[in-house]
């Protein structure tokens, strides 16, 4: 089904099931511990052996020797697999770094071998017996040191220029030119990267924790040099991903290699300390923002340039995404720079691009508002734009940023904020308010589904879409129930299996909107089949309460018997005609201890405009989770680099700080009443990543309002505040 006519009549608009706050249908399975995760398919692959991954002890260089004899003789050991005996391996399209290294080493903790044994303990003990000698080479590990040499953009991301920025900035009445930094961050999902593999002849079944089933299937087939149809990937339940499980990782490859070697199922789980260095992370950035405005606050020139580093072939962190669209201004410049670093691969983490970009841009906007002696909300409002600033003929499909800001300010009590920093005090605590806009582009992906109607009137949906804790099962069930006119409990949803039609997968905030649109397309076909079977006009038939109706005629859905349909949603060129984005207003209140610099976030509010909200309960859960990650990014999250040896030092959950319950204040989420018929037949957009975009800056701005200390380098830790705090009275 090609979506190119947003004006057509749409049965989803009945809103009998869609748009209502239903509980997650997978909730009982997860809360009772009966939902099987990647490491737990014991009945499907009995007698599984265990693989323990050995990671490189150096960040750059070569393996000169690897002695595995003692490990091979250890109790219970079945095989030791390395690049020497794994056979010829290919490389998938989605991975920059090699998943099984040797003899060349590309980053610290790159997998160089897996020891397979009868038990996990035996595999771990034997892995300690493997003796590896290296020739270490000098690497580049410090972005700040490499930045001066990187002066040109990557070939695939040239600078974007509109108007004449340099002259407009030079002549601006009020100017800001500031540099900010964001650190490397780790996904730290609750479930580790884990896989279990079993071979049946030349066919492989992989149970894994992966957000994008088709990507995993195709890249694993390419890596193993086998036909794609010989790889069956299953991932129905995922314990969090945040982008860290978008791609094929070493656990899946090594489980497959181990199982092939011993002709027995093998399960591999990356230990927690290995995950930050072995898998991907959000890369650090250095960002320069320049803004020029007239005395009335209208932006006349805006530039945003960002530097990050990555392994050769790794992607650029597109931290300037939002600056292309968020505010008006005739003269504009955005540019990206990519340094070569010998750290682990930097790649997608929740809202790549906009999350670190908004951390910076929205502090700069706050600083500019202060220079102009304007309220930060009003400064943003007067620089709103309803068109793409680079192409005024291209309008936003929906843009309610001003409404988000206005409603947020009123609900939060913004008018009570003292604009002069450091003036509000409650005993030892300095109290302040801050705000920021939120922005995340709305992406759509081709997505397919198969829908079955059985003779009892039940509906089964099959799609390789995944649920990473986001509620995919529930909103897909709601879509099918709405389209086929049956109660929610008459719908069964099957996800995360490469035997099902290829979906959008979970990533880029495209999952909910695209996958439900794919189910919508399949249901349109099934409705046609039912109508034709029962002698109805498909264009006039109404499906409701388990029946199909037209005028006075009504027939039970069960009379159609068993029918099936399959289709995909394919998006036309509407994204070329319209700019599609999501918007938010974030408001924060903090208290800072005047003696210690301890920051306590007291209140958080997000007002979101993101199309139709398919399930307000699950959507709210996604937004408050994103707000929590934004708090972590603002105050504590940082992968600390040993710049001599080239690795992340705090590579476990004991040393990598993330927010806990005690850190989380009252959180409120308001969804504006909005539908976007340009986005999809669901008239929805993504919202789970919008919730993080801007939160960290709102916290930084609130801290400045409380203390008068402006911090431009994340995270905002005590040492960055103490010197600037006022004297204790």
Q: d(Cα 663, Cα 665) in Å, to the nearest integer?
A: 6
Residue 295 CB: number of other CB atoms within 10 A?
Answer: 10
- Which of 288, 319, 282, 275 lies closest to 183, judged by CA? 282
Give, as one character, the DSSP assignment of residue 211.
S
Of 248, 270, 352, whose CA–CA distance to 651 is shortest? 270
Q: Sheet holding 231-234: strands in order across? A: 77-82, 111-117, 49-55, 266-269, 194-200, 203-208, 231-234
**What pTM did the predictor assign?**
0.98
Place of tokens 């005028």: 551
User: H/E/C letters for each residue in 90-102?
Assistant: CCCCCCCCCCCCC
Q: How far apart are CA 462 and CA 333, in angstroms?
A: 45
Query: 2-35+444-576 domain in CATH 3.30.365.10?
Result: yes
Domain range summary for the chain, segments of one domain joined by + = 2-35+444-576, 395-442+580-722
Please tell me the predicted confidence (pLDDT) of residue 711.
98
Fold match between domain 2-35+444-576 and domain 395-442+580-722: yes
Specify the pLDDT at position 4: 80
Which residue from 238, 232, 174, 184 is spatially nearest to 211, judged by alpha carbons?
A: 238
Residue keyed to tokens 């996990």:
120
Task: List, in sequence order, every beta strand (DSSP E) within 467-598.
Answer: 491-494, 542-544, 547-550, 553-556, 563-571, 578-579, 581-593
For the residues of 678-694, what is the DSSP string, one character each?
TT-TT-B---TTGGGTT
Reduced to 3 DSSP states, what percent helix, strand and coil does the chain have, rounded to the nearest 5?
A: 30, 30, 45
> Which pLDDT does position 136 carry in this prediction?
98
Q: Which of 601, 608, 634 is nearest to 623 (CA)?
A: 608
C-alpha to C-alpha distances, 300 to 359, 374, 411, 432, nearest whole angstrom: 22, 16, 31, 30
Q: Is 689 a catalytic residue?
A: yes
- Average pLDDT by consecutive 10-residue portion of the chain (729 residues)? 83 97 96 96 94 98 98 98 97 92 98 98 98 98 98 95 98 98 98 98 98 98 98 98 98 98 98 98 98 98 98 96 98 98 98 98 98 98 98 96 98 98 96 98 97 98 98 98 98 98 97 98 98 96 97 97 98 90 98 97 98 98 98 98 98 96 95 96 97 98 98 98 83
Token pair recorded at residue 691: 């919730």
477, containing H or E segment: helix 472-484
CA 28 to chain CA mean position, Å: 25
Instruction: Give yes or no for a contact between 223 and 275, defined as CB atoms under 8 angstroms apart.
Output: no
Q: What is the pLDDT of residue 5?
A: 76
CB 674 within 8 A of CB 611: yes
Are 415 and 469 within 8 A, CB to CB?
A: no
* ∠ Cα 427 431 435 (to 5°): 175
The candidate with the shortest Cα–Cα distance to 515, out of 469, 459, 477, 562, is 477
- Residue 216: C-alpha distances to residues 341, 438, 444, 465, 639 (Å): 26, 31, 20, 12, 27
Q: How far apart are CA 366 and CA 662, in angstroms?
A: 28
**Taking each helix axis from N to C terminus, what angle separates 213-224 and 250-262, rounded to the nearest 10 degrees?**
50
Alpha-carbon gap, residue 79 to 316, rounded angstroms = 38
pLDDT at 729: 54
Q: Which CATH class is domain 395-442+580-722?
A: alpha beta
Residue 521 CB neighbour total at 10 angstroms: 26
Q: Which of 324, 354, 589, 689 is catalytic?
A: 689
Rg over CA atoms, the chain: 27
Whole-angstrom distance, CA of residue 148 vs CA of residue 144 = 8
Q: How far apart are CA 583 and CA 579, in angstroms?
A: 12
List strand residue ranges (DSSP E) for 457-598, in order: 459-462, 491-494, 542-544, 547-550, 553-556, 563-571, 578-579, 581-593
Place of tokens 């601006």: 172
pLDDT of res. 728? 64
pLDDT of 490: 98
- Cβ within 8 Å of residue 224, ≥6 positions away: 89, 90, 204, 231, 253, 256
**Cβ contacts of 658-666, under 8 Å, gap ≥ 24:** 658/188, 658/632, 659/628, 659/629, 659/631, 659/632, 659/635, 663/601, 663/631, 663/635, 664/601, 664/628, 664/631, 665/600, 665/601, 665/602, 665/603, 665/604, 666/602, 666/603, 666/604
């Amino acid at each position: 089904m090609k979506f190119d006519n947003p004006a057509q009549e749409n049965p989803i608009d009945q809103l009998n099931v869609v748009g209502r706050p239903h509980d997650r249908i997978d909730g009982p399975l997860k809360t009772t511990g009966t939902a099987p995760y990647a490491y737990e398919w014991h009945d499907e692959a009995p007698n599984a052996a265990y693989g323990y991954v050995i990671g490189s002890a150096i960040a750059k260089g070569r393996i000169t020797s690897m002695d595995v004899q003692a490990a091979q003789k250890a109790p219970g050991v079945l095989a030791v697999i390395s690049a020497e005996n794994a056979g010829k391996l290919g490389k998938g399209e989605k991975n920059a770094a090699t998943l099984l290294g040797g003899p060349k080493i590309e980053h610290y903790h790159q997998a160089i071998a897996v020891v397979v044994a009868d038990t996990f303990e035996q595999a771990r003990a034997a892995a300690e017996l493997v003796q590896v000698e290296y020739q270490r080479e000098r690497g580049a590990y410090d972005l700040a040191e490499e930045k001066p040499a990187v002066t040109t953009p990557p070939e695939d991301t040239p600078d974007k220029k509109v108007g004449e920025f340099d002259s407009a900035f030079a002549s601006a009445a009020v100017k800001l030119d500031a540099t900010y930094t964001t650190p490397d961050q780790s996904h730290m999902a609750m479930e580790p990267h884990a896989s279990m593999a079993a071979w049946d002849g030349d066919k492989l079944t992989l149970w894994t924790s992966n957000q994008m089933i088709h990507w995993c299937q195709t890249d694993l087939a390419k890596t193993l040099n086998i036909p794609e149809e010989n790889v069956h990937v299953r991932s129905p339940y995922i314990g969090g991903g945040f982008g860290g499980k978008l791609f094929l990782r070493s656990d899946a490859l090594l489980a497959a290699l181990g199982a092939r070697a011993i002709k027995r199922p093998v399960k591999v789980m990356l230990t927690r300390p290995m995950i930050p260095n072995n898998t991907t992370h959000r890369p650090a950035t250095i960002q320069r923002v320049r803004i020029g405005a007239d005395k009335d606050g209208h932006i006349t020139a805006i530039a945003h340039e960002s530097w990050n580093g990555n392994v050769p072939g790794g992607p650029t962190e597109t931290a300037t995404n939002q600056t292309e669209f968020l505010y008006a201004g005739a003269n504009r410049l955005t540019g990206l720079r990519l340094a070569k670093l010998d750290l682990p691969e930097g790649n997608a983490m929740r809202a790549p691009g906009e999350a670190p970009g908004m951390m910076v841009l929205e502090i700069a906007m706050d600083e500019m508002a202060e220079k102009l002696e304007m309220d930060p909300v009003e400064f943003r409002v007067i620089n709103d734009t309803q068109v793409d600033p680079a192409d005024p003929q291209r309008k936003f499909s929906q843009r309610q940023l001003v409404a988000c800001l206005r409603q947020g300010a009123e609900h939060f009590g913004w008018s009570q904020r003292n604009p002069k920093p450091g003036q509000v005090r409650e005993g030892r605590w300095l109290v302040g308010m801050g705000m920021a806009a939120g922005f995340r582009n709305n992406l759509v992906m081709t997505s397919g589904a198969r829908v079955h109607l059985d003779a009892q009137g039940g509906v089964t949906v099959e799609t390789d879409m995944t649920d990473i804790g986001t509620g995919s099962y529930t909103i897909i069930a709601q879509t099918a129930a709405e389209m086929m006119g049956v109660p929610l409990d008459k719908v069964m949803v099957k996800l995360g299996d490469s035997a099902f039609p290829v979906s959008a997968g979970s990533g880029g905030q495209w999952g909910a909107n695209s996958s439900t649109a794919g189910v919508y397309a399949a249901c349109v076909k099934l409705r046609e089949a039912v109508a034709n079977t029962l002698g109805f006009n498909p264009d006039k038939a109404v499906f409701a309460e388990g029946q199909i109706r037209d005028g006075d005629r009504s027939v039970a859905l069960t009379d159609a018997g068993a029918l099936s349909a399959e289709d995909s949603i394919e998006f036309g060129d509407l994204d070329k005609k319209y700019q599609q984005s999501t918007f938010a207003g974030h408001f924060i209140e903090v208290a800072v201890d005047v003696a210690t610099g301890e920051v306590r976030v007291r209140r958080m509010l997000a007002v979101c405009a993101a199309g139709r909200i398919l399930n307000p309960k699950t959507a709210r859960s996604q937004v408050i989770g994103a707000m929590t990650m934004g708090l972590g990014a603002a105050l504590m999250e940082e992968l600390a680099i040993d710049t001599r040896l080239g690795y992340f030092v705090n590579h476990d959950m004991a040393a990598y700080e993330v927010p806990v319950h005690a850190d989380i204040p009252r959180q409120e989420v308001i969804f504006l009443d909005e539908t976007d018929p340009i986005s999809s037949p669901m008239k929805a957009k993504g919202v789970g990543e919008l919730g993080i975009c801007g939160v960290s800056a709102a916290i930084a701005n609130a801290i400045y309002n409380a203390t008068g200390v402006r911090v431009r380098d994340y995270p905002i830790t005590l040492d960055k505040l103490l010197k600037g705090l006022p004297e204790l009275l």
